[in-house]
Amino acid sequence: MPDAAVAVFGAPGFWWLAATIAVAGIVRGFTGFGTALIFVPVAGMFLPPAQVVATITLTGVASTAALVPRAWRQSDLREVGLLVIAALPTIPLGLWLMEALDALTVRWVVTVVAGGTLAALIAGWRYHGRMRLPGLLAVGATAGAIGGMTGLTGPAVILFYLAGQAAAQAVRANTIVFLAALDLVIVANLLLSGAVGWSVFLLAAALAVPYFFTTMIGQSLFHPGRERFYRSAAFGVIGLAVVSGMPIW
């Protein structure tokens, strides 16, 4: 078997990771979110934090590549630029924390962030204030720090920016472009620092295959009249991933 295949399929817990990303794809397909909240807690049981962050961000780049061209045309590039500028200094901070802390502590941070986000979503909590410049910068900085440390780039955007009063289409387009940029910057930082090798690209590419197909399946299963059911199912899957990925097991 070629060395590349051995590196991928011989990765710790590969088939668990493939099954998890496949389930995450279905959830992403019919809800539009949840991939990192499902994958990161489980991946932390098998991979060191740097590989978890690199794998989920690379998979995120692959999954959003098809969405970016349209989102780019619909987005407010000035606003996205502000979010990226705010995230740039905090991404290295998050990566530094990831490397400075032991893997067990990082897994607990993942559990708290993912569990807290899930609790807020279930409770229906959202930030309903007007998102002005300080708020935008805070969202970008928070997403950068948490994303660099754990790979969970979405919670700050989901709970704060997406709940603003701006037009939903524009906000979602901004979010797609911003998170794609965030993923690229995180991966570049990891590679330049030597925290991960190029083999992580092979792992991410292998996981992107089931993720792509199950995302399409989830999208085809979506029916507007059953949105409440889909969200309940998604919350259940995310909750199972958070609980199963807790460091107490």
Residue pointed to by tokens 């539009």: 32
Condensed to tens digits (0 to 9), the pLDDT of residues 39-95 reads: 999 999 999 999 999 999 988 777 777 678 878 888 889 989 999 999 999 999 999
What predicted TM-score, i.e. pTM, was given to this entire model?
0.84
pLDDT band at 102 (very low <50, low <70, confident <90, very high): very high
Contact call for residues 211 and 25 (beta carbons, < 8 A)? yes
**Given this model, what pLDDT does residue 20 score?**
95
Considering only CA atoms, which of 110, 94, 108, 55 is closest in space to residue 238? 110
The Cα 181–Cα 84 span in angstroms is 7
Name the average pLDDT for the chain.
Answer: 85
The Cα 29–Cα 99 span in angstroms is 33
Condensed to tens digits (0 to 9), the pLDDT of residues 179-225 reads: 888 988 998 888 888 878 778 888 998 999 999 888 888 878 777 67
* Amino acid residing at 25: G
Q: How far is residue 235 CA from its own chain's centroid?
A: 16
Does 1 score more than 60 pLDDT? no
H/E run at residue 121: helix 103-123
Contact call for residues 109 and 59 (beta carbons, < 8 A)? no
Taking residues 120-146, report their average pLDDT: 86
Please tell me the number of Cα atoms within 13 Å of 204 on its side-chain side: 21
Positions of E strands within 38-186: none
The Cα 80–Cα 177 span in angstroms is 7
The two tokens of residue 66 are: 């098809």
What is the number of H-type helices and E-type strands within the chain?
13, 0
The two tokens of residue 83 are: 């979010």
Say which DSSP state 48 is in: -
The Cα 173–Cα 161 span in angstroms is 12
